[in-house]
Amino acid sequence: MLFLFLSILLSVVLLLNFRLFPRYEINTFQAIVFNYFVCFLTGYLLLPEGQSVSIDLSQTWTWLALGLGVGFILTFLLSGLSTQRIGITATSLANNLSLVIPVCFSLFVFQTGGKTFDSFNYLGLVLAVVAVGLSTYKKEPAPTSDPDGSTATYPHKARLSGATLLLPVAVFLLYGATNTIINYMNIHYIASSGNTVVVMLTMIMGAIVAGTIMLGVRLIRGQEKIVVRNLIGAVTLGVPNFLSFYTLLLALSQFGGNGAFVYPLYNIGVILVAALLAALFFREKLSTANRIGLVLAVLAIALISWQELLL
Protein backbone atom coordinates (compact mmCIF):
# COMPACT_ATOMS: atom_id res chain seq x y z
CA MET A 1 0.00 0.00 0.00
CA LEU A 2 3.02 2.29 0.39
CA PHE A 3 3.41 2.95 -3.35
CA LEU A 4 -0.32 3.63 -3.73
CA PHE A 5 -0.23 6.07 -0.81
CA LEU A 6 2.80 7.86 -2.27
CA SER A 7 1.13 8.09 -5.68
CA ILE A 8 -1.93 9.69 -4.11
CA LEU A 9 0.15 12.27 -2.22
CA LEU A 10 2.26 13.14 -5.27
CA SER A 11 -0.85 13.48 -7.44
CA VAL A 12 -2.28 15.95 -4.93
CA VAL A 13 0.98 17.92 -5.19
CA LEU A 14 0.25 18.18 -8.93
CA LEU A 15 -3.19 19.59 -8.20
CA LEU A 16 -1.68 22.10 -5.79
CA ASN A 17 0.65 23.24 -8.58
CA PHE A 18 -2.28 23.89 -10.90
CA ARG A 19 -4.12 25.67 -8.08
CA LEU A 20 -1.15 27.99 -7.49
CA PHE A 21 -0.16 28.68 -11.13
CA PRO A 22 -2.66 31.56 -11.61
CA ARG A 23 -1.40 33.25 -8.44
CA TYR A 24 2.12 33.39 -9.88
CA GLU A 25 0.94 34.07 -13.44
CA ILE A 26 2.36 30.82 -14.78
CA ASN A 27 1.13 29.74 -18.23
CA THR A 28 -0.37 26.30 -17.59
CA PHE A 29 0.02 25.10 -21.19
CA GLN A 30 3.72 25.95 -21.30
CA ALA A 31 4.30 24.46 -17.86
CA ILE A 32 2.71 21.21 -18.99
CA VAL A 33 4.72 21.05 -22.23
CA PHE A 34 8.04 21.76 -20.51
CA ASN A 35 7.19 19.54 -17.55
CA TYR A 36 7.70 16.50 -19.77
CA PHE A 37 11.32 17.51 -20.31
CA VAL A 38 11.69 17.65 -16.52
CA CYS A 39 9.93 14.27 -16.27
CA PHE A 40 12.44 12.79 -18.71
CA LEU A 41 15.40 14.14 -16.75
CA THR A 42 13.91 12.86 -13.47
CA GLY A 43 13.37 9.40 -14.94
CA TYR A 44 16.82 9.36 -16.53
CA LEU A 45 18.39 10.00 -13.12
CA LEU A 46 16.39 7.06 -11.72
CA LEU A 47 17.45 4.61 -14.43
CA PRO A 48 18.77 1.39 -12.86
CA GLU A 49 22.43 0.68 -13.49
CA GLY A 50 22.96 -1.11 -16.77
CA GLN A 51 19.75 0.11 -18.40
CA SER A 52 19.63 2.70 -21.19
CA VAL A 53 16.95 4.45 -23.19
CA SER A 54 16.61 3.53 -26.85
CA ILE A 55 13.74 3.46 -29.30
CA ASP A 56 13.16 0.00 -30.77
CA LEU A 57 10.26 0.42 -33.19
CA SER A 58 10.11 -3.35 -33.73
CA GLN A 59 8.67 -3.77 -30.22
CA THR A 60 4.91 -3.52 -29.67
CA TRP A 61 5.34 -1.84 -26.30
CA THR A 62 7.37 0.97 -27.91
CA TRP A 63 4.44 2.01 -30.10
CA LEU A 64 2.02 1.69 -27.18
CA ALA A 65 4.28 3.86 -25.01
CA LEU A 66 4.74 6.55 -27.67
CA GLY A 67 1.01 6.55 -28.34
CA LEU A 68 0.30 6.97 -24.64
CA GLY A 69 2.58 10.01 -24.55
CA VAL A 70 0.62 11.61 -27.37
CA GLY A 71 -2.59 10.59 -25.56
CA PHE A 72 -1.49 12.48 -22.44
CA ILE A 73 -1.22 15.73 -24.40
CA LEU A 74 -4.46 15.18 -26.33
CA THR A 75 -6.34 14.45 -23.11
CA PHE A 76 -5.11 17.70 -21.61
CA LEU A 77 -6.19 19.69 -24.67
CA LEU A 78 -9.60 18.03 -24.80
CA SER A 79 -10.12 18.69 -21.10
CA GLY A 80 -9.29 22.36 -21.58
CA LEU A 81 -11.61 22.67 -24.58
CA SER A 82 -14.42 20.84 -22.81
CA THR A 83 -14.03 23.08 -19.75
CA GLN A 84 -14.33 26.18 -21.92
CA ARG A 85 -17.24 24.99 -24.04
CA ILE A 86 -19.28 22.83 -21.65
CA GLY A 87 -18.11 23.74 -18.15
CA ILE A 88 -15.95 22.57 -15.28
CA THR A 89 -18.54 20.26 -13.73
CA ALA A 90 -19.17 18.06 -16.76
CA THR A 91 -15.46 17.86 -17.60
CA SER A 92 -14.40 17.01 -14.05
CA LEU A 93 -17.06 14.31 -13.77
CA ALA A 94 -16.07 12.86 -17.13
CA ASN A 95 -12.43 12.74 -16.02
CA ASN A 96 -13.03 11.14 -12.64
CA LEU A 97 -15.81 8.74 -13.66
CA SER A 98 -13.57 7.37 -16.42
CA LEU A 99 -12.16 5.01 -13.77
CA VAL A 100 -15.00 2.62 -14.64
CA ILE A 101 -13.27 1.80 -17.96
CA PRO A 102 -9.96 0.44 -16.59
CA VAL A 103 -11.84 -1.19 -13.71
CA CYS A 104 -14.15 -3.10 -16.08
CA PHE A 105 -11.26 -4.10 -18.33
CA SER A 106 -9.26 -5.28 -15.33
CA LEU A 107 -12.13 -7.38 -14.01
CA PHE A 108 -13.67 -8.82 -17.16
CA VAL A 109 -11.01 -8.64 -19.90
CA PHE A 110 -7.56 -8.81 -18.30
CA GLN A 111 -8.91 -10.80 -15.35
CA THR A 112 -5.90 -9.80 -13.32
CA GLY A 113 -5.46 -11.46 -10.03
CA GLY A 114 -4.22 -10.93 -6.59
CA LYS A 115 -7.69 -11.14 -5.13
CA THR A 116 -11.12 -12.53 -5.96
CA PHE A 117 -13.84 -9.90 -5.87
CA ASP A 118 -16.81 -10.66 -3.65
CA SER A 119 -20.15 -8.87 -3.26
CA PHE A 120 -18.67 -6.32 -0.82
CA ASN A 121 -15.91 -5.43 -3.29
CA TYR A 122 -18.40 -4.94 -6.13
CA LEU A 123 -20.60 -2.81 -3.90
CA GLY A 124 -17.51 -0.75 -3.09
CA LEU A 125 -16.86 -0.20 -6.81
CA VAL A 126 -20.41 1.07 -7.33
CA LEU A 127 -20.10 3.36 -4.31
CA ALA A 128 -16.73 4.59 -5.62
CA VAL A 129 -18.32 5.77 -8.87
CA VAL A 130 -21.13 7.50 -6.96
CA ALA A 131 -18.64 9.00 -4.50
CA VAL A 132 -16.43 10.39 -7.27
CA GLY A 133 -19.44 11.95 -8.96
CA LEU A 134 -20.75 13.59 -5.78
CA SER A 135 -17.31 14.65 -4.51
CA THR A 136 -16.40 16.46 -7.72
CA TYR A 137 -19.83 17.94 -8.43
CA LYS A 138 -19.92 21.73 -8.59
CA LYS A 139 -22.89 23.84 -9.56
CA GLU A 140 -22.34 26.08 -12.55
CA PRO A 141 -22.80 29.81 -11.81
CA ALA A 142 -26.39 30.95 -12.19
CA PRO A 143 -27.17 32.90 -15.36
CA THR A 144 -27.19 36.67 -15.02
CA SER A 145 -29.78 39.00 -16.50
CA ASP A 146 -29.07 41.44 -19.29
CA PRO A 147 -30.21 45.05 -18.89
CA ASP A 148 -33.22 44.34 -21.12
CA GLY A 149 -34.38 41.68 -18.67
CA SER A 150 -33.48 38.70 -20.82
CA THR A 151 -31.42 35.85 -19.37
CA ALA A 152 -27.78 35.90 -20.38
CA THR A 153 -26.14 32.69 -21.49
CA TYR A 154 -22.54 31.68 -21.06
CA PRO A 155 -20.34 31.57 -24.14
CA HIS A 156 -19.52 27.91 -23.58
CA LYS A 157 -23.21 27.03 -23.50
CA ALA A 158 -24.39 29.18 -26.36
CA ARG A 159 -25.54 27.31 -29.48
CA LEU A 160 -23.89 24.06 -28.52
CA SER A 161 -23.34 21.85 -31.55
CA GLY A 162 -23.54 18.08 -31.49
CA ALA A 163 -19.74 17.86 -31.69
CA THR A 164 -19.34 20.21 -28.73
CA LEU A 165 -21.74 18.18 -26.61
CA LEU A 166 -19.54 15.13 -27.26
CA LEU A 167 -16.47 16.77 -25.71
CA PRO A 168 -17.08 15.37 -22.16
CA VAL A 169 -17.69 11.96 -23.75
CA ALA A 170 -14.34 12.23 -25.55
CA VAL A 171 -12.63 13.19 -22.27
CA PHE A 172 -14.28 10.24 -20.52
CA LEU A 173 -13.20 7.78 -23.24
CA LEU A 174 -9.65 9.11 -23.65
CA TYR A 175 -8.90 9.18 -19.91
CA GLY A 176 -10.35 5.70 -19.56
CA ALA A 177 -8.43 4.42 -22.60
CA THR A 178 -5.06 5.77 -21.45
CA ASN A 179 -5.48 4.28 -17.97
CA THR A 180 -6.56 0.95 -19.47
CA ILE A 181 -3.52 0.85 -21.78
CA ILE A 182 -1.27 1.72 -18.84
CA ASN A 183 -2.73 -1.23 -16.93
CA TYR A 184 -2.33 -3.51 -19.98
CA MET A 185 1.30 -2.48 -20.45
CA ASN A 186 1.99 -2.99 -16.77
CA ILE A 187 0.64 -6.54 -16.95
CA HIS A 188 2.37 -7.59 -20.18
CA TYR A 189 5.49 -5.44 -20.54
CA ILE A 190 6.45 -3.81 -17.26
CA ALA A 191 5.76 -5.89 -14.15
CA SER A 192 7.86 -8.89 -15.15
CA SER A 193 10.64 -7.14 -17.10
CA GLY A 194 12.00 -4.68 -14.55
CA ASN A 195 12.18 -1.89 -17.14
CA THR A 196 9.52 0.37 -15.65
CA VAL A 197 11.60 3.55 -15.98
CA VAL A 198 12.59 2.77 -19.59
CA VAL A 199 8.94 2.30 -20.62
CA MET A 200 7.97 5.50 -18.82
CA LEU A 201 10.72 7.47 -20.55
CA THR A 202 9.48 6.19 -23.90
CA MET A 203 5.98 7.41 -23.04
CA ILE A 204 7.42 10.78 -22.09
CA MET A 205 9.24 11.01 -25.43
CA GLY A 206 5.89 10.73 -27.19
CA ALA A 207 4.50 13.52 -25.01
CA ILE A 208 7.59 15.68 -25.62
CA VAL A 209 7.31 15.37 -29.40
CA ALA A 210 3.56 16.10 -29.46
CA GLY A 211 3.84 18.96 -26.95
CA THR A 212 6.79 20.56 -28.71
CA ILE A 213 4.96 20.54 -32.04
CA MET A 214 1.87 22.15 -30.48
CA LEU A 215 3.94 24.78 -28.68
CA GLY A 216 5.94 25.48 -31.84
CA VAL A 217 2.75 26.12 -33.81
CA ARG A 218 1.51 28.54 -31.13
CA LEU A 219 4.85 30.36 -31.05
CA ILE A 220 4.85 30.76 -34.83
CA ARG A 221 1.31 32.14 -34.71
CA GLY A 222 2.28 34.56 -31.95
CA GLN A 223 -0.13 32.97 -29.46
CA GLU A 224 2.62 32.14 -26.96
CA LYS A 225 5.70 33.80 -25.53
CA ILE A 226 8.14 31.80 -23.41
CA VAL A 227 8.71 33.32 -19.96
CA VAL A 228 11.18 32.09 -17.31
CA ARG A 229 8.53 31.63 -14.61
CA ASN A 230 6.77 29.09 -16.84
CA LEU A 231 9.97 27.02 -16.86
CA ILE A 232 10.10 27.20 -13.06
CA GLY A 233 6.50 25.98 -12.98
CA ALA A 234 7.53 23.09 -15.24
CA VAL A 235 10.11 22.00 -12.66
CA THR A 236 7.68 22.05 -9.72
CA LEU A 237 5.20 20.15 -11.89
CA GLY A 238 7.53 17.70 -13.64
CA VAL A 239 9.22 16.06 -10.64
CA PRO A 240 6.01 15.04 -8.79
CA ASN A 241 4.37 14.23 -12.13
CA PHE A 242 6.97 11.59 -12.95
CA LEU A 243 7.14 10.23 -9.42
CA SER A 244 3.33 9.99 -9.07
CA PHE A 245 3.09 7.98 -12.28
CA TYR A 246 6.09 5.85 -11.32
CA THR A 247 4.67 4.95 -7.91
CA LEU A 248 1.25 4.24 -9.49
CA LEU A 249 2.89 1.70 -11.82
CA LEU A 250 4.70 0.17 -8.84
CA ALA A 251 1.39 -0.04 -6.98
CA LEU A 252 -0.22 -1.81 -9.96
CA SER A 253 2.68 -4.26 -10.05
CA GLN A 254 2.44 -4.79 -6.30
CA PHE A 255 -1.21 -5.84 -6.69
CA GLY A 256 -0.68 -8.05 -9.75
CA GLY A 257 -1.93 -5.47 -12.24
CA ASN A 258 -5.31 -5.44 -10.50
CA GLY A 259 -6.63 -2.11 -11.77
CA ALA A 260 -10.07 -2.88 -10.33
CA PHE A 261 -8.48 -2.57 -6.90
CA VAL A 262 -5.88 0.14 -7.49
CA TYR A 263 -7.71 2.72 -9.63
CA PRO A 264 -10.77 3.25 -7.39
CA LEU A 265 -8.56 3.61 -4.30
CA TYR A 266 -6.23 5.94 -6.19
CA ASN A 267 -9.03 8.19 -7.52
CA ILE A 268 -10.97 8.55 -4.32
CA GLY A 269 -7.76 8.82 -2.30
CA VAL A 270 -6.71 11.81 -4.40
CA ILE A 271 -10.15 13.37 -3.97
CA LEU A 272 -10.11 12.91 -0.19
CA VAL A 273 -6.60 14.31 0.35
CA ALA A 274 -7.14 17.15 -2.14
CA ALA A 275 -10.42 18.13 -0.45
CA LEU A 276 -8.74 18.17 2.97
CA LEU A 277 -5.84 20.36 1.80
CA ALA A 278 -8.14 22.66 -0.18
CA ALA A 279 -10.26 23.23 2.93
CA LEU A 280 -7.22 23.81 5.16
CA PHE A 281 -5.09 26.04 2.93
CA PHE A 282 -7.48 27.55 0.37
CA ARG A 283 -10.64 27.77 2.48
CA GLU A 284 -12.62 25.98 -0.23
CA LYS A 285 -16.14 25.13 0.91
CA LEU A 286 -17.81 21.81 0.24
CA SER A 287 -21.45 21.48 -0.72
CA THR A 288 -23.73 18.93 0.90
CA ALA A 289 -23.30 16.68 -2.15
CA ASN A 290 -19.51 16.94 -1.83
CA ARG A 291 -19.61 15.96 1.84
CA ILE A 292 -21.85 12.98 1.13
CA GLY A 293 -19.47 11.97 -1.66
CA LEU A 294 -16.47 12.07 0.66
CA VAL A 295 -18.24 9.92 3.25
CA LEU A 296 -19.20 7.42 0.56
CA ALA A 297 -15.58 7.48 -0.66
CA VAL A 298 -14.35 6.33 2.75
CA LEU A 299 -16.99 3.59 2.81
CA ALA A 300 -16.02 2.57 -0.74
CA ILE A 301 -12.36 2.27 0.26
CA ALA A 302 -13.32 0.04 3.19
CA LEU A 303 -15.49 -2.21 1.01
CA ILE A 304 -13.00 -2.50 -1.88
CA SER A 305 -10.03 -3.25 0.34
CA TRP A 306 -11.59 -4.97 3.36
CA GLN A 307 -9.52 -8.12 2.77
CA GLU A 308 -6.28 -6.14 2.85
CA LEU A 309 -7.37 -4.07 5.84
CA LEU A 310 -7.96 -7.21 7.91
CA LEU A 311 -4.51 -8.63 7.21
Q: Which domain holds residue 124?
A: 2-139+163-309
149 in a structural domain? no
pLDDT at residue 201, as a whole number: 94
157 in a structural domain? no
Encode pLDDT of 42-81 as tens digits: 999 999 887 888 888 888 889 999 999 999 888 878 887 7
pLDDT at residue 63, as a whole number: 93
Q: How far apart are alpha carbons 166 and 282 in whole angstroms?
A: 33
151 in a structural domain? no
275 band by pLDDT with thresholds 50, 70 and 90: confident
145 in a structural domain? no
pLDDT at 154 over 50: no
156 in a structural domain? no
pLDDT at residue 89, as a whole number: 63
pLDDT at 186 over 90: no
pLDDT at residue 157, as a whole number: 45
pLDDT at 212 over 90: yes
pLDDT at residue 60, as a whole number: 86
62 in a structural domain? yes
Burial class of residue 134 in the structure, from the number of CB atoms within 10 Å of its CB (0-12 exposed, 13-18 middle, 19+ buried) = buried
Encode pLDDT of 159-179 as tens digits: 556 667 788 888 889 989 998
Higher pLDDT, 251 or 77: 251
pLDDT at residue 9, as a whole number: 95
205 in a structural domain? yes
- Say which residues have a Cβ less than 8 Å from residue 270's Cβ, sequence separation at least 6: 8, 11, 12, 15
pLDDT at 241 over 90: yes
Residue 145, strand partner residues: 151
Which residue type sits at 47? Answer: L
pLDDT-wise least confident of 41-50, 228-237, 248-257, 301-310: 301-310
208 band by pLDDT with thresholds 50, 70 and 90: very high
158 in a structural domain? no
Q: How far apart are alpha carbons 251 and 224 in whole angstroms?
A: 38
pLDDT at residue 193, as a whole number: 63
Question: Domain count of the chain?
Answer: 1
DSSP 145: B
- Say which residues have a Cβ less than 8 Å from residue 291's Cβ, sequence separation at least 6: none
Average pLDDT, rounded, for the chain = 84
| DSSP strands (E only) in the chain | none
Number of other residues whose CB lies within 10 A of the CB of residue 225: 10
Encode pLDDT of 87-138 as tens digits: 666 777 777 788 888 888 888 888 765 567 789 888 988 998 898 888 877 7
